[in-house]
Structure formats: C-alpha cells, structure tokens
A and B are shown apart, each in its own frame.
Chain A
Amino acid sequence: MTASFPERGRITAGVLALAALGILVGGAFAGLGQEAIQSWRGAFSAFDSYLLRVARFTLLQAGLSTILSVLPAIFVARALARHPRFFGRGFILQLFAVPLALPGIVAALGVLALLGRAGFLAPLLSSLSGDTWQGIYGLSGILVAHVFFNLPLAARLLLASLEAVPADQWKLATQLGMGAGATFRLIEWPALRAALPGVAALVFMVCAVSFTIVLTLGGGPRATTLEVAIYQALRFDFDLARAIALTLVQVALTAAIVLVLSRLGASINADASLPAAPRRSVFPRPGETAFNVSVILLALVFVGGPIAATVIAGLGADLARLAGERAVHGATMTSLLLASLSAFLCLLLSFALVAARRALEMARGGGRAGGMERLTDTGASMVLIVPPIVIGAGWFILLRRFGDVFAFAPLMVVTVNAAMALPFTMRAIRPAYDAASARHEKLCLALGISGWTRLRLVDWPALRRPAATGLAFAMALSLGDLGVIALFGSDRVKTLPYLLFERMGSYRTADAAGLALFLGVLCLGLMFLATHWGKEKS
C-alpha cells in the first residue's frame, strides 16, 4: 500500500484504537483462558444441571420476551402506519423512544413501582385475584420489563419498514378499494415480513444478554440467566470454575445469535430513525379505526405506565434529604466523572477508527476493501458480541492476581462502557467525517494543510455537532449502566446505578425511587441533547 504521509498518520491512529479494543477483549479472554486451563477439572464439572437450567431459562425468557414484544408490535406499527396524521402521533413516537434511553435499573424500578408488591396497581390486582398480590418478580417481571423495552423498539423498527412502502402504493391500494385485510395481506405483510426476522433476532439478542433487568426483577435459582449467574458466581460464591463454564456458554450463545443475526441481515446496533410521517392518503374504515385506536391506546398505557410510575414514585420520595446525602453526592460525582471519561475515550476511539477507515478507503482507490479497512469499519461493532459482563468477568479473574480487584473499578467502567458505546458514536460521526473528507481532501493536499491545523480548521467544524451527539449518547449509556460496576463496585467506588441497586437491596424503596427519577432524568436529558444535536444541520 502506498499511503501518502497524512494518510499514514490516520491509519496509525486507527491501528492504535483497534489495539486498545483488542487488549480489552483479549485480556478478558486471557484471564478466562488461563483460569480455565489451570482448573479445567473444576470448570468441566461446573457443566452441571444448574448450568443447564440457567442456560435453558436464558433462552426461554429471551424467546418469550421476543414473542411478546414483536407480535403486538406488528399491530402497533400498522396502526400507526394506517393513521399518518392524528393529534399526539408525534408524542407517541417520542414516548416510544424513551425506554431506549432509560437505564435498565430505572425501568425495572418503574415496573416494580407499578406492579410490585407495594406498587400502585397492587390494591387493584389484589382485589381482582381475591388474594394478596405478591408482586411481579421472576419470569413474569422479567417479561414485563423486557416487553416494556422492546415493544416500542420493535414497533418503531417495523413502522420504519412500513413507511418505506412508496406513497404511491398506498394511494393505489386505496384507489383499488383494499380494506384492512387486503391491505395487510398484500402491502403491509410483505413489507413487515422482510423486516421481521431481523427485528426479532435483535430483540432476542437484547433479551438474551439482558443483565440489569434479570438482576433486579429475577434472581433466585429459578429465574437466573447466564449473565446474572456469572455475576453471582464471582461476587457471592467466588466460584471461578463455575464462572468460567457460564462465561463459555454465554459466549457460545451470543456468537450463535450474532451469526444468525448477520445471516438475517440485521444490524446489531439498529435504531429506527423515523422521518416525519409522509403525506399519505389512507382511508381506514370506521371498524378498523376503532381497532387501531384501541391498539395504540393499549400500547400507550403499557409503555407510559412504568414511566409515569417512576415519576410519581420518585416525586413521592424525600428528594430534599436525598439531595443532601453525602452518599448521593459521591455517587453522582463518581458517575458523572466516569461517564465523561468514558464518553471522551469513546469519542477518541471512534474518531481514530473513522479517520483510519476513510484513509484506507482513499489509499486503495477503487479496489475491494482490505481486511484492515473492514476491521476499522464493522470490526468495531463486533465488540458488542462480547457482553460487558463477560469482559468484566475475564478481567475480574485476571486482575485478581495483581492485587485488589475493586481498585480497578474506575478503569474497568470507563473502558468497557466506552467500548459498548463505540458502534453508536461511530455511526454518529462517520457520515459527517466522510462527507467532509470527500469535499476537502484534495484541497487540503493542494494547500498543504495537515495534522493539527487540518483538524482545527477543516475537520473539527464539520464534526463538532456529530461529535457532541456521540459524546452525549456515550455518556448517557455509561451513566445508566449497571453491568461492569455490579462486578467491580464497592464502598470505595459507587456509581448512581450501583447506589440505586444497593438501596433497592436494602428495601429502601422510596430512596431508590427518588434516585431512579434523578438518574432517568439525567439520561433522558443527555439522550435528548444527543438527538437534538444530531438532527440540526449545521
């Protein structure tokens, strides 16, 4: 390859970023591998009926969650597609984006505030069943929370596939006099069928590696997934052999799902960006309209319920006292610091990878993309294959040899969360970077602008906005995460989600509700900024 000088600098940056990711993932596997070799007998004997049960439950809850999310989502999506203009449609779509931005622990708390033993609906449910409502825990709790997260996601993705149907075809269908049934069979179903496998596989993946929800709403030997079992093996039983066996199964399982996903052509980090509903002429008949309205209302109640419960329960907490607590201050500072560091690291890595990819693309001229270029492109999103808990577990086992594991908490949280957010930030900045590069590359060469000057004068103005988007997004993701910190958290390093989880565990429900509201507002605020900056054109 004959890369000219400025390209070489960018490629080097990309190689360094890839190396950092490689160390993060490789170190985890090294830790796991070494331990597995040393105590292979133990690891082998850990493949017992418990592990089998956990693996089965992982698949069962993921499968059920997928069915319960995707099937209703079909009806919600087509109801929204059939009514492209009505008062509040925009609000509903916004509301459907909220669960995506909400930290898992906040959502879990919202579900409990509504359906828990002391939840808002407990009296009603008690009188309905004629028995004291025991609260929604175990499988049913996990399912409700997963559907809360994934039904809106699936509905938005499926709606996007319906809105991709050309406007003329809707017109044609109307003119030909197709009713709801014929429209579904001849127009909507073919469009949905193309999107469904990908959407279902995505939801399945999200649910199979779901950690926070299962940790807070499941638990107990009967409702434990692999991820939570890994956590319990490390944190409570310190049973390394078991942790290794569980991790191996988890990695094999995710690899299998990702393989299926890529066969189905779904992207792991899918998001549904919905343009304003096109001006479309649909004329549903009264019976269908009534049906659609009830479908939308039901979905609205289902998604809005836990959110409203979070807000109400949060406002009911002693917020003034919480705001004065030193533990809360400490956790907030820790969270903001770690999340900021993680977001900056993530942005730095994304920028290096995006720039290297572009440089490689230009260096090769018109030929096929080389292996390195593909690594800097989709390779980075492969990080998502290895669940954060697995990376955390690997490093947990490895670092144990070098002293106090919990002292590494900040480092682990920052790096793992940065890697998690990487595919999203890369997607935020890559189009802008590539477009700016296409426009300015020759000019920069001709004028001899390179290095720092180029970054300051040429690249930065074009990237400011997408970079801010990526930064806010990565920060929100890191801020709400209860994954790595669950493994590495201790009295010395506590983030907000960790503190929240602690308060829940010690039955200080009101405190937990107040913290959940605080955390939820923080994350939603950041997500709002991210989409706001992402939408505006500079």
Chain B
Amino acid sequence: MVPQQGAVVKLDALAFAYPGGPAMRFDLLVPASEIVALMGPSGSGKSTLLNLIAGFERPDSGQVLIGSVDVTRLPPFKRPVSMVFQENNLFSHLTVEQNVGLGRSPTLRLSDGDRAAVSEAIARTGLAGKEQRLPRQLSGGERQRVALARVLVRRQPVLLLDEPFASLGPALRDEMLDLVAELHRDQQMTVIMATHDPRDAERLSNRLLFIENGTIAADGATSSFLAGQGPAAFARYLGERKRLR
C-alpha cells in the first residue's frame, strides 16, 4: 500500500459544555503521524474530546484544525477522520465485506478498484475467508478487526479510537494494539486513542495526555507517566483502577 501522511490536529481554545454540564476547554497540538493516548476518569471528557475532533459535537467557541484546514464548522462526513468505537462499529445485517465497503462508498456502490482495496484490507487485518460472515458470527476481536479494515480503506489522515479494545481480553488486546501499530506503519495516520488501561498506552503511544474535569490536566511522555513521574492525580487515578481490578 502507498504510504501516506498523517495530518496535524490542533485544538485552539476549544470550549464546550453539555446542556447543564460543566464547562470544558481544550488546547492541544498533535503533530502529524504521532500516536497519543488519552487517559482519565470516566466522565472526564475523553470521549467528548474525540467527538469534538470528529465533529459529532459542535464547540461553543474555539477552533478545530486538521492539517491546515479549519474544520470547526464542517459536518463529520467532510472531516478527514476515521473513528472506531468500543462497540457497534458494524451494521449487524451487513456482511464483513459490506461493512468494510462502506468505508469506500456510503451507498455501497463499489468500483472494481474499491473491491480490490476492500479484499486487501480484509486480508491485511487477518479476516481472509470471512468476507461473507455477519457480525454476529464473529468474535469480539474479529469485529474490531473489521472496523480497522474499514479504517484502512478509508485512508483518512486521522484515526480516533474511543476505548476500542476495552471489552477484549488481555492477549487479544495486545494483538489488536500490534495491529494498530502495523497499520500506523503502513499509513502513517495521526492516532488519538482514549483508554483506561495504562498498558494500551505503554504498548502503542509515546505521548500521553491526562484528562481531568474537562481539560488536559497533564501532557508528557508515556514512559515518564507510567514510571510514576506524572501528577499526583494521575497516580491516584491509576491506583483506583488497580484496586478496582
């Protein structure tokens, strides 16, 4: 596959609040092709941050830039972004092939070139031979592979992952993280991944953002965060996670 470049993601004084919710504010610069992990307690704003970049939420003020383009006012389908959710990434009545094909054409009218790209992506994600299966005939890990195959055929410069592997077991999880790393080597997209598991961050990202109370509370190298050099709040958050487990 032709290597392609990621795009810079920049959030400039981005302000947002859910109706009746607390004010959130984000400032962020992610260089092209970087992989960043977002960590923080539930409800801290990780998903909101991803939704703002993808365009599912409109900010009250501030700007979202992808590449050098201001996308703040653009609807989600005009933004050069792919997103993978924890669940429900697939349409349950469509086959693996169709689900991936949607990445090329939202009406499923595929050219021969599209079909070739689809079957290549399916093979690349280790799903060869399962093209005609329905999502319910797949395991949880395989379903997320289909979602990643769709990311591949979309070839967008930005990939947002919203706790995509949270419902998978540890071994499967590592496999999936390695797959994301491979895809990143191929396509060089900018990756922003929300997760609760420090091992996800450790395995995939060099940089970690700690989100708390609707803002980026700390920003640094993943290794130093996990070596205990992050802020006290981060240590507390990790401690709670460990005790819960």
Tell me, in angstroms, the Cα distance from A385 to B92 when the chains sit together.
35
Q: How far is the CA of A387 from the CA of B77 in the complex (A)?
A: 52
Alpha-carbon gap, A169 to B78, bound state (A):
17
Say which residue of B76, B88, B91, B103 sits within 8 Å of A283 (CB atoms). B76
Q: Are the C-beta atoms of A182 and B89 separated by less than 8 Å?
A: no
Classify the secondary structure of A's interface with B: helix
Max count, chain A CB within 10 A of own CB: residue among B89, B106, B108? B106
A325 at the interface (CB under 8 A from B): no
Q: Are B102 and A175 in contact (CB under 8 A)?
A: no
**Interchain CA distance A175-B103 in the complex, whole Å:** 9
Interface residues of A in 264-292 (CB under 8 A from B): 279, 281, 283
Q: Which residues of B contact A279 (CB under 8 A)?
A: 18
Q: List, in ascending order, chain B residues with CB within 8 A of A178's CB.
A: 77, 102, 106-107
Contact check, A281 vs B85: say whether CB atoms are below 8 A apart. no
A172 and B77 contact, Cβ closer than 8 Å, known pairs A182-B106, A281-B57: no
A215 to chain B, nearest CB (A): 44
Q: Is A166 an interface residue (CB 8 A)?
A: yes
CB-based nearest A residue for B86: A168
Q: Per DSSP, are chain B's interface residues mostly helix, strand or loop, or mixed? A: loop
- The tally of residues in A whose CB lies under 8 Å from a CB in B reads 22
| B9 interfacial by beta-carbon distance below 8 Å | no
| Binary per-residue interface labels of chain A (164-190) against chain B in the complex, 1 for a CB within 8 Å, 0 otherwise | 001111011111111101100111001
Residue from the set A171, A178, A181, A283 with the largest chain B CB neighbour count within 10 Å: A171
Contact A168 B106 (CB under 8 A): no
The reply to whether B88 and A166 contact each other, CB–CB distance below 8 Å, is: yes
Q: Kindly identify which residue among A168, A171, A176 contacts B87, using a CB–CB cutoff of 8 Å.
A: A168
Given contacts A175-B83, A181-B107, A186-B108, contact A168 B76 (CB under 8 A): no
**B89 in contact with A177 (CB, 8 Å):** no
Set of chain A residues within 8 Å of B108, measured between Cβ atoms: 182, 186
Tell me whether A190 and B91 are in contact (CB under 8 A): yes
The answer to whether B56 touches A187, judged by C-beta atoms less than 8 angstroms apart, is no
Q: In chain B, what residue has the closest Cβ to A189?
A: B93
- From A174, A176, A283, residue with most partner B Cβ within 10 Å: A176
Quick one: which of B57, B88, B102 contacts A176, CB cutoff 8 A? Answer: B102
Q: Closest residue to A169 on the B side, CB-wise?
A: B88
B residues within 8 A CB of A172?
A: 83, 85, 88-89
Q: What is the number of residues of chain B that contact chain A, defined by CB distance less than 8 Å?
A: 27
- Given known pairs A171-B85, A281-B57, the reply for A179 and B91 (CB within 8 Å) is no
B89 near A175 with CB under 8 A, answer no
**B89 near A168: Cβ-Cβ < 8 Å:** yes
Q: Report yes or no: A174 in contact with B56, Cβ–Cβ below 8 A.
A: yes
A174: chain B residues at CB < 8 Å are 56, 75-77
Q: Which of A176, A190, A281 contacts B106 (CB 8 A)?
A: A176
With contact pairs A168-B88, A176-B103, A182-B106 given, residues A190 and B93 touching in the complex (Cβ less than 8 Å):
yes
Residues of B within 8 A of A190 (CB): 91-93
Decide yes or no whether B38 CB sits under 8 A from chain A: no
Q: Knowing A171-B85, A175-B82 are in contact, say whether A182-B54 is a contact too (CB < 8 A).
A: no
Q: In this complex, what residue of A is CB-closest to B103?
A: A176
Contacts of B51 in A (CB 8 A): 281
CB-contacts of B65-93 with A (<8 A): 75-79, 81-83, 85, 87-89, 91-93
Give the one of A166, A167, A175, A186 with max B CB within 10 A: A175
* Complex contact B85–A187 (CB within 8 A): no
* Distance between Cα atoms of A178 and B106 in the complex (Å): 5
A179 to B83, CA, bound (A): 18
Contact of A175 among B77, B87, B91, B92 (CB under 8 A): B77
| Chain A residues whose C-beta falls within 8 Å of the C-beta of B76 in the assembled complex | 171, 174-175, 281, 283
CA distance A176 to B108 in the complex (A): 11
Q: Which residues of A contact B106 (CB under 8 A)?
A: 173, 176-179, 182, 186
Shortest CB-to-CB span from B52 to chain A, Å, is: 11
> Are A176's CB and B77's CB within 8 A?
yes
Confirm or deny: B94 has a beta carbon within 8 angstroms of a beta carbon on chain A.
yes
Which residues from A are CB-within-8-Å of B79? 175
Our pick among B82, B87, B103 for the contact of A166 (Cβ within 8 Å) is B87
- Can you sample 13 A-B contacts with CB below 8 Å? A167-B88, A168-B89, A171-B56, A171-B76, A171-B85, A175-B76, A175-B77, A176-B103, A178-B77, A182-B106, A186-B106, A190-B91, A283-B76
Contacts beyond the supplied A176-B77, A186-B108, A281-B51: 20 A-B pairs with Cβ under 8 Å: A167-B88, A168-B87, A168-B88, A171-B54, A171-B83, A172-B85, A175-B76, A175-B77, A176-B102, A176-B106, A177-B106, A179-B107, A182-B106, A182-B107, A182-B108, A186-B106, A279-B18, A281-B55, A281-B76, A283-B76
What 7 A-B pairs are tightest by C-beta distance, nearest first?
A177-B77, A166-B88, A281-B56, A178-B106, A168-B88, A283-B75, A168-B85
